[in-house]
Structure 1
């Protein structure tokens, strides 16, 4: 069940990154002024790289010449492209606890729970950003997190690799972590699709809100 004060949107097709960024910024201002509902927006982008506020140019190789955008979020370089589910969250932390650390922890838990619903055991790893799966040589990152909080309203969010072209991640050092690879639901042989992942995210969303509020 999605609360009435939150819009849940899943976009078809590929949404250009500048369009998504502009909409997020506008919606965040409207949420802050109580002129619009909060938003959870699930979408896919064309192939591109985004640079966070800690991005190191030495970690961008980009042999395919994909567009690179300054995201304004925290973190380093991230890839987005077809077959990857991106979730943008425009939520009002003023009424949800004003705790950024708890927000990130709840977001991680939401991703882990949704992945569990589609048959993938995932986890946090101390000292590493993102969501991880596998052990030993097969250990790899399956989900990324990059957020910004502006006047207690969140922007950006997460991505989960369903069936992207994993070779595209070779154009960067993903999130600045070179020691481990990147994987996807498809690469792990999981019986999952964008639609099934969306259903899992929706089913686990009430728990995320509960964790966010500390209830």
Structure 2
């Protein structure tokens, strides 16, 4: 395991209810701020649902399948979560990691891109768009989403990577407010979409994410 002793790396089996995850994040963030708990990286799956960020536009929610909708409290617009998608929640103390939210998000994007690269996906950022992208031309699509919240310099929420979800479920929203592009997954690209393989890639590339934060904090 390539994770420092002061960070808990947790992988939850099965499907975690969103309300339970949100309550856990809130409690853990408070405990981290007060110095009573380690920082946390939590990898999990949710049952099918939509979350609404602070910029969510109700016109972008169609929800023909009637999935539950939760106000997440994070930044961004509507996002889908469901089986076959690896969700990662980060409860990290930015007070000791640079106190720069933009740098945190940039480093988080870099971590996702590095992990996807190990999984065979040529992933990238796109200027003016939220999330992680792959493909060119008509095949250009979003493969990862990011939505974070920072309270008293402790992060909450995090990212999702589409491994093998039912992509038709994304049709219930305009994902992250971007209507001109589709979504894709490792499975749709003909790649291994297993949770175990993805988790191994995330673990291997996690030190580079921490190094990016450390380097950024020295510049700040």
The answer to whether TM tops 0.5 is yes
Matched residues in 1 for 2:48 and 2:108: separation?
24
The corresponding residue for 2:212 is 211
The corresponding residue for 2:164 is 163
Task: State the SS of the aligned residue for 1:89.
Answer: strand
Displacement over 6 Å in runs of 4+: none
TM-score by length of 1: 0.99
Count residues with an aligned counterpart.
215
The corresponding residue for 1:38 is 39
Give the RMSD, CA atoms, in angstroms: 0.6
- Runs of 5+ consecutive residues of structure 2 not aligned to the other structure: none
Task: State the SS of the aligned residue for 2:11.
Answer: strand
Matched residues in 1 for 2:213 and 2:146: separation?
16
The corresponding residue for 2:21 is 20
Matched residues in 2 for 1:128 and 1:67: separation?
26
The corresponding residue for 2:119 is 118
Task: State the SS of the aligned residue for 1:128.
Answer: coil
Matched residues in 2 for 1:140 and 1:106: separation?
21
Matched residues in 2 for 1:151 and 1:195: separation?
33
The aligned runs of 1:187-202 (5 Å cut-off) are 187-202=188-203
Cα distance, 1:83 vs. partner?
0.2
Matched residues in 2 for 1:191 and 1:83: separation?
11
Task: State the SS of the aligned residue for 1:125.
Answer: coil
Cα distance, 1:4 vs. partner?
0.6
Give per-residue Cα distances to partners, 1:140-192, cap 9 Å, x unaligned: 00000000000000000000000000000000000000000000000000124
Cα distance, 1:20 vs. partner?
0.1
Matched residues in 2 for 1:196 and 1:186: separation?
12
- Runs of 5+ consecutive residues of structure 1 not aligned to the other structure: none
Matched residues in 2 for 1:214 and 1:64: separation?
45
Cα distance, 1:193 vs. partner?
1.2
Matched residues in 2 for 1:191 and 1:36: separation?
35
Cα distance, 1:214 vs. partner?
1.4
